[in-house]
């Protein structure tokens, strides 16, 4: 299950994506508009900044902005940053591989191939779903109203 940290990060990135090219967004505005606790959002934005997804400008009129285009930030990127591996078991993880303690031999493991299929399905969808995907969905919802 996705952590609240990941979910809030996606909400904040989407909020910043809506503002692309319009200047800087203050943390307080993002927190209020996305219903995210401000202190928690500050920690999330700092981690996103260290991951080079956002940057900030200090001072009057400053705030946060996206460093990458919305189509370049995927759900997989955000999930891995805050929650780690997409895989359900460590022996099939691409970025966080570990041998399973209870497995004698990965080659003869009857579960491994199926978990690879599950990981790949999730990874492909998460990699193709970007901040731009959320922006597009938001525009569709607004058009229906």
134 against 101, higher pLDDT = 134
Residue 90 · residue 112 · CB < 8 Å: no
Q: Report the number of distinct structural domains present in the chain.
A: 2
Q: Are residues 56 and 81 in the same domain?
A: no
Q: Are residues 38 and 19 in the same domain?
A: yes
pLDDT, mean of residues 22-33: 94
Identify whether 98 is part of a domain.
yes
What value does the mean pLDDT of the chain take? 93
Q: Are residues 58 and 87 in the same domain?
A: no
Confidence (pLDDT) at 106: 84
Identify whether 100 is part of a domain.
yes
Q: Are residues 44 and 75 in the same domain?
A: no
- Indicate which CATH number applies to the domain containing 22: 1.10.10.10
pLDDT tens-digit map of 81-133: 999 999 999 999 988 888 888 888 888 888 999 999 999 999 999 999 999 99
Identify whether 135 is part of a domain.
no
Identify whether 14 is part of a domain.
yes
pTM of the model: 0.90
Q: Are residues 10 and 61 in the same domain?
A: yes
Q: Are residues 60 and 78 in the same domain?
A: no
Identify whether 141 is part of a domain.
no
CA distance 126 to 90: 18
Burial of 20 (0-12, 13-18, 19+ CB in 10 A): middle
**Which of 51, 66, 81 marks a domain boundary?**
66
Other beta carbons within 10 Å of 4: 13
Q: Look up the domain containing 38 and give its range.
A: 4-66
CA distance 57 to 61: 8
Residue 14 · residue 131 · CB < 8 Å: yes
CA distance 132 to 145: 20
Q: Are residues 83 and 117 in the same domain?
A: yes
| HSE value, Cβ hemisphere, 13 Å, CA-based, for 110 | 0
Task: Report whether pLDDT(39) > 80.
Answer: yes
**Which of 66, 81, 103 marks a domain boundary?**
66
Task: Report whether pLDDT(59) > 70.
Answer: yes
Identify whether 138 is part of a domain.
no
Confidence (pLDDT) at 15: 97
Q: Are residues 55 and 8 in the same domain?
A: yes
Q: Which residue reads 């570990």 in tokens?
A: 98
Confidence (pLDDT) at 103: 84
Confidence (pLDDT) at 145: 67
């Amino acid at each position: 299950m996705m952590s609240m940290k990941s979910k809030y990060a996606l909400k904040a990135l989407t909020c910043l994506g809506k503002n692309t090219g319009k200047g800087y967004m203050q943390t307080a505005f993002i927190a209020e508009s996305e219903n995210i606790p401000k202190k928690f959002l500050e920690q999330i934005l700092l981690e996103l900044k260290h991951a080079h997804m956002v940057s900030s400008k200090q001072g009057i009129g400053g705030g946060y902005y996206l460093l990458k285009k919305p189509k370049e930030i995927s759900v997989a990127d955000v999930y891995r940053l805050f929650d780690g591996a997409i895989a359900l078991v460590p022996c099939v993880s691409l970025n966080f591989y570990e041998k399973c303690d209870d497995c004698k031999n990965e080659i003869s493991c009857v579960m491994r191939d199926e978990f690879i299929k599950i990981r790949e399905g999730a990874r492909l969808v998460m990699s193709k779903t970007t901040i731009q995907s959320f922006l597009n969905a938001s525009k569709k919802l607004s058009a229906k109203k």
